[in-house]
Amino acid sequence: MSNKINLGIIICDRYRTCSGGKCLRALKNREGAFSIYLKSEVELVGYTTCNGCPGGNIEYAGEEMVKNGAQVIHLATGFLVGYPPCPYIETFMSFIEHRYNVQVVLGTHPIPQKYLDMHSKLGTWEDPHWQTMLATVISQEKIRKAYD
């Protein structure tokens, strides 16, 4: 991608008190899912939660972010690493893409190593479908450990 990209981030409500440190660090360093912007200027135009299951804020957050110029909306890594992972991820992605005609990217910061270890023990991500969903945030072990 090139030029300036405006993006929004929606986080899982389980992490509603999160200050965004890992997401913002990853955005600054172009790590995890933000590595797709290596050659782009990026502006964050929105940051909010889904408002809890089943995502009551998805409709309104997407609309506000697009009004603020969002071209891409990221569903934060917390949707993937929580116990259990969000059961609505694909529903949220589909709704936002179709309703607002905007790209949705799954993930923000790299998965912390401690979460990868736990989900590996639990077998959470054994289904090959998960490999596609985790692709942008799996990163190298050194980077995952830096996000623990």
Residues 6+ apart with CB under 8 A from 128: none
What is the Cα–Cα distance from 15 to 18, expressed in whole angstroms? 5
Q: What is the mean pLDDT of the chain?
A: 95
Q: Tens digits of per-residue pLDDT, 18-73? A: 989 999 999 999 999 999 999 999 999 999 999 999 999 999 999 999 999 999 99
Q: Tens digits of per-residue pLDDT, 132-146? A: 999 999 999 999 999
Average pLDDT, stretch 94-108?
A: 97
pTM of the model: 0.94
Q: Residue 3: what pLDDT?
A: 85
Task: Report percent pLDDT > 70 for the chain.
Answer: 99
Question: Domain range holding 59?
Answer: 4-146
Cis peptide bond prior to 54, omega within 30° of 0:
yes
CATH code, domain carrying 64? 3.40.50
- Categorize the per-residue pLDDT at 85 as very low, low, confident or very high, splitting at 50, 70 and 90: very high
1: pLDDT strictly greater than 60: no
The total domain count for the chain is 1
